[in-house]
Structure 1
């Protein structure tokens, strides 16, 4: 009795499937024909049953047949999704390469714009008021800047219990020679927390010493900037007071 019920359910399912297919074919047949074929991705899935497999299908229950069809559809969907993900990975790699090239181009443009800005400002670099000798007005690279503004300077310091780690030599463009003494306070981490001009001596064209104020002195500004950037060894004490001494030779 159970076998007859299973066969009856199977044939009912087959009848419904064939009826649906017939209805779809009828709708397609009554549509008007077009003069040109239009490519389309739409399709109708039609299942064909081989007579040789009828006996095997008859032995299966209605639920088993439906489950088998569902498993095939799931496998096809998984395969399609894997192919789409592979294409997405290729697209992502191409996008990353394009982004890298775009960033590199922007950095080059920023570098060029910065040098153009510095050139338009006559390369003052915090040395406002420094006489312009008219040499090498067109500075395009940092290497050219270093060659122009590195002068002959000696640096010495007095700081009890501390050794220097970084002792910058001032880069400057001054047409005078002289000495600058700066009083500094160094914190326990080794950085300069305070720097003040203690004494400035400049020499005129005849080599005679001449006192000038800090605001009007080129070498004083250069020494003060270098002193603030100096770094010494760390120590347990909170603050150590000392002195930095700079000796400048005139630029020619």
Structure 2
């Protein structure tokens, strides 16, 4: 509605301005003629002012009523209706303003997109287009650059080999294939350097319950073990590797 009124005013603004100018000139002329006209004797009237003393004037002034009730007749309803109309007009103006703002914003976005597209076409036409190489997603997996979860220091459970070397993890651990008879348990005490290499491996006779055959296989397998390197580890770190030989 507001846009329609503005458009109609734009088309007929010269006629409206001319009409207002003519009416203003006529009203101004009539006002001048009226104020400069001297009334006749019979049209004149006298005003008699009677002066009243101050104490009598105070007595004539009636005190205001204590309880003033607001009339609930038709005028109040008219006032409320007028306020609702004003609120509705304000709401309409707000919606119209918001609509205009959204329209302007959309036009700006369209202009920006068209400008970018035009520049893109110009770069392509002049050979300045930069082709971005496609990257292999498999080479950018975050799992490749995240620290691995700490593995348990001591391997236990249904396995035939376990080790105890605080702060270190095995890189290779040899499980021997033995030809000995019976079963048993062999504990081999090891000495590991910072690079993870076994420097010494000795069977703990007191902690072992196996035959000499099993101890020989366990000592050889322990010497072949390899652990990860650690600069924070001692130069010669001590630990154990335990071999459990199941019956054949």
Same fold, judged at TM 0.5 (above)? no
Higher-Rg structure is: 2
TM (norm. structure 2) is 0.34
TM (norm. structure 1) is 0.33
